[in-house]
Amino acid sequence: MSPAGIPTVTIGFPIPNTPCGIFSLRIYWNNSGQLWPTITPVSPATTWGPLAIIFIVSASKEAWDDYNRYLSDKKVNERRIWVVKDGIRRQIKAREIHVGNIVWLHENDEIPCDLVLIGTSDPQGICYVEDMLEFLFV
């Protein structure tokens, strides 16, 4: 029984996880032994060197991706969009949008934030949204 009083049902064939645990422990043990200078036949530099290179290359790539994402976000957040506040329509930067703002979009505008569609100018009330995956939602 679970704490909520719901009966717990288990499958008759549990997935064994012991071999995976032992395998992971063995890899950890072998790799740790490579760093112990008295028992390893190779220099620790031959172990640490490639690890350091891989780490530096991976960290550099992640830093470059983060920087490019920052530039992209900055560009998107500086776009001017229309909002309706107190019955007055005015332009603000996308970064100034707050919860509760009514965003006024025109045809082929990019949607600057998560929003709930209140209305559309289409006579049938239809709105087409195309996302980056090229799917069309109706």
- Domain boundary residue among 26, 46, 76? 76
Indicate if 127 and 90 belong to the same structural domain. yes
The DSSP string of 83-118 is: EEETTEEEEEEGGG--TTPEEE--TTPPP-S-----
Per-residue pLDDT at 74 exceeds 90: yes
Mean pLDDT of the chain: 80
Per-residue pLDDT at 138 exceeds 50: no
- Distance between CA atoms of residues 113 and 89, nearest Å: 18
pLDDT for res 121 = 82
User: How many domains are there within the chain?
Assistant: 2
pLDDT for res 137 = 47
Indicate if 91 and 62 belong to the same structural domain. no
Indicate if 24 and 67 belong to the same structural domain. yes
Indicate if 57 and 88 belong to the same structural domain. no
Position 66, amino acid: D
Q: Mind listing the pLDDT tens digit for each residue in 97-115? A: 988 888 988 888 888 888 8
Q: Which residue has the higher pLDDT, 5 or 93?
A: 93
Q: Which residue has the tokens 């996308």?
A: 94
Eight-class DSSP state of 122: S
Indicate if 70 and 103 belong to the same structural domain. no
- Which range marks the domain in which residue 88 is found? 78-137
Per-residue pLDDT at 49 exceeds 70: yes
Per-residue pLDDT at 72 exceeds 80: yes
Eight-class DSSP state of 42: S
- Domain boundary residue among 55, 76, 97? 76
Q: Is the separation of the CB atoms in 39 and 30 below 8 Å?
A: no
